């Protein structure tokens, strides 16, 4: 196995262009996968020195480097994402090391970041040798552990537009140590958007009117959540059952309703 730690994005994309390489960000997901033989790459590209960390303002939004850690996010003012970052499971060691770009690229259905990015209308900046593109978060998350990123691409940054909508975030876990079972990221503006994480293979977007959200929420979730995520922690029917509950709590939180 080859290991490279390029000093910039060009170096990263050059290393990825060669073929079957795995990108390591914070390492909290992919390194244990390698240890247990579930990922057997011929090359590892480490982003640690590629200059991809940090949060910056850009016009009317945020640019969040892919290597920005949960700890940095938690200290920021990025709506929803800062809240989600503070509640990441695994302790400060994971929050110090795990990155928003790594979590997005891993696309574990049972994780906080994908649904939050979709709720925020974030855009994912991907780079490959000789080119770059942006993909809306809603398209980026293609399924369980699947994204729109091609093997020769690297996620470099995530842009998040400012929003005047009020945020609400609720994460439901079985106990402290479990993956999230269902998360709900809500933004309440003129209309309400709540995005469910953990409930299905990819984030589920629910759009609601302010006046009727309580009446409509359950049926909308039922309509959209046709294939709930099922794993050893919780069966799909349980996720489907509590998804409207968690969504309602997130919306109520955004609206500061009890």
Partner 1 sequence: MKLTVNGVEHEIDVDPRTLLVHAIREQVGLTGTHVGCLTGDCGACTVVVDGQTTKSCSVLALSAEGSAVETIESLADGDDLHPVQQAFWDEFGFQCGFCLPGMLLTAKELVESTPDPTDDDILRAIDGNLCRCTGYNTIVAAVRKAARS
Partner 2 sequence: MAALPARVGIGSSPRKRDGAALLTGRALFLDDHRPEGLLHAVVVRSEVAHGRIRAIDTAAAAAAPGVALVLTGAEAAKHAGPVPYFIDPAARGGNRTDIRCLQVDKVVHVGQPVAAVVAASRHEAQAAADLVRITYDVLPHVLDARAAMAQDAPRLYEDWPGNVVAHNRYGSGDPDAALAAADVVVEGELRIARTTTAPIEPRGYLASWQGDRLTVHASCQNPHQLRWMLSVSLGVDESRIRIVTAKVGGSFGLKMQGHPEETLVALLSLLADAPVKWVEDRRETLMAGAREQVHRFRVGATSDGRITGLVNEIVADIGALTAQAGWAMPNMSATTQPSGYAVQDVRVELDIVCTNKPPCNAARGFGKDAAHFVMERAVDLVARELGMDPAEVRRRNFVREFPYRTATGLNIDSGDFDGLLDKTLDAVDYAGIRRGQAESRERGRYLGVGLGFELTPESSDSPGTFVSGFDTTTVRMSVTGMVTVLTGVTSPGGGNDTGIAQIVATELGVPIEWVELVQGDTDRCPNGFGNFSGRSMVVGGGSATLAARDVRAKLLAVAARLFETSEVDIRDGIASGGGRELPVPEVARALLTRAFAIGDIEPVLESTRAYKPGNINHVPDELGRIQPYPTYSSSLHAAVVEVDAETGKVTLADYVMTHDCGTMINPALVEGQARGAVTMGLGSALSEQLVFAADGSLASNRFKSYLLPRAGDIPLLRMIHQVTPSPFAMHGNKGAGEAGVGGAQAAVANAVEDALAPFGVTVRGVPLSPPNVLALIDEARP
Report the nearest approach of partner 1 to the CB of residue 17 (Å): 19
Contacts of 194 (CB under 8 A, 6+ apart): 119, 168, 184, 185, 186, 187, 206, 208, 217, 247, 250, 251
Position 235 contacts partner 2 (CB under 8 A):
yes
Question: Using CA atoms, how far apart are residues 60 and 172, in angstroms rounded to an integer?
Answer: 32
Report the nearest approach of partner 2 to the CB of residue 201 (Å): 18
Site residues for partner 1, 135-174, by CB under 8 A, read none
Position 174 contacts partner 2 (CB under 8 A):
yes
Position 76 contacts partner 1 (CB under 8 A):
no
DSSP, residue by residue, 41-82: -SEEEE-TTSS---EEE-SSEEEEETT-BHHHHHTS--TTHH
Q: Would you give the distance in Å from CA 162 to the centre of its chain? A: 18
Part of the chain binding partner 2 (CB under 8 A), chosen from 92-100, 123-131, 198-206, 233-241? 233-241
Q: Is 172 left (phi over 0), alpha (psi -120 to 50) or beta?
A: beta
Part of the chain binding partner 2 (CB under 8 A), chosen from 13-21, 137-145, 154-162, 237-245? 237-245
For 161-213, what is the HEC assignment?
ECCCCEEEEEEEECCCCCCEEEEEEEEECCEEEEEEECCECCCEEEEEECCCH
Residue 232 interface partner, choices partner 2, partner 1, none, CB cut-off 5-8 Å depending on type: partner 2
Contact residue for partner 2 among 14, 132, 245, 252 (CB under 8 A): 245
53 within 8 A of 69, measured Cβ to Cβ = yes
Reading the block at residue 124, the tokens are 């994912």
Position 113 contacts partner 2 (CB under 8 A):
no
When the beta carbons of 40 and 133 are compared against partner 1, the nearer one is: 40
Residue 92 interface partner, choices partner 1, partner 2, none, CB cut-off 5-8 Å depending on type: partner 1
Report the nearest approach of partner 1 to the CB of residue 33 (Å): 9
**Site residues for partner 1 per CB under 8 A:** 1-3, 5, 24, 26-28, 31-32, 34-36, 44, 46, 48, 71, 89-94, 96-97, 176-177
Binding residues for partner 2 (CB under 8 A): 36-37, 172, 174-179, 181, 231-235, 238, 241-242, 245-246
């Amino acid at each position: 196995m080859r290991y490279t730690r390029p000093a910039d994005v060009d170096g990263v994309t050059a290393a990825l262009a060669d073929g079957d390489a795995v990108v390591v960000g914070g390492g909290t997901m992919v390194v244990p996968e390698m240890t247990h033989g579930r990922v057997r790459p011929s090359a590892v590209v480490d982003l640690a020195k590629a200059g991809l960390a940090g949060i910056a303002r850009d016009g009317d939004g945020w640019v969040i480097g892919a290597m920005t850690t949960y700890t940095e996010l938690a200290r920021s003012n990025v709506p929803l994402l800062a809240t989600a970052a503070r509640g990441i499971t695994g302790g400060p060691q994971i929050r110090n090391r795990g990155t928003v770009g790594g979590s997005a690229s891993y696309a574990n259905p049972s994780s906080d970041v994908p649904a939050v990015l979709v709720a925020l209308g974030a855009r994912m900046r991907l780079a490959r040798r000789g080119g770059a593109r942006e993909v809306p978060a809603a398209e980026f998350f293609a399924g369980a552990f699947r994204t729109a990123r091609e093997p020769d691409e690297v996620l470099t940054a995530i842009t998040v537009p400012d929003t005047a909508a009020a945020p609400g975030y609720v994460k439901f876990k079985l106990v402290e140590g479990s993956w999230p079972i269902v998360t709900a990221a809500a933004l309440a503006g003129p209309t309400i958007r709540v995005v469910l994480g953990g409930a299905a293979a990819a984030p589920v977007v629910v759009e609601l009117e302010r006046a009727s959200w309580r009446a409509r929420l359950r049926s909308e979730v039922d309509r959209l959540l046709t294939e709930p995520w099922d794993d050893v922690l919780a069966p799909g029917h349980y996720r489907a059952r509590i998804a409207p509950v968690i969504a309602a709590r997130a919306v109520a939180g955004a609206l500061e309703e009890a």
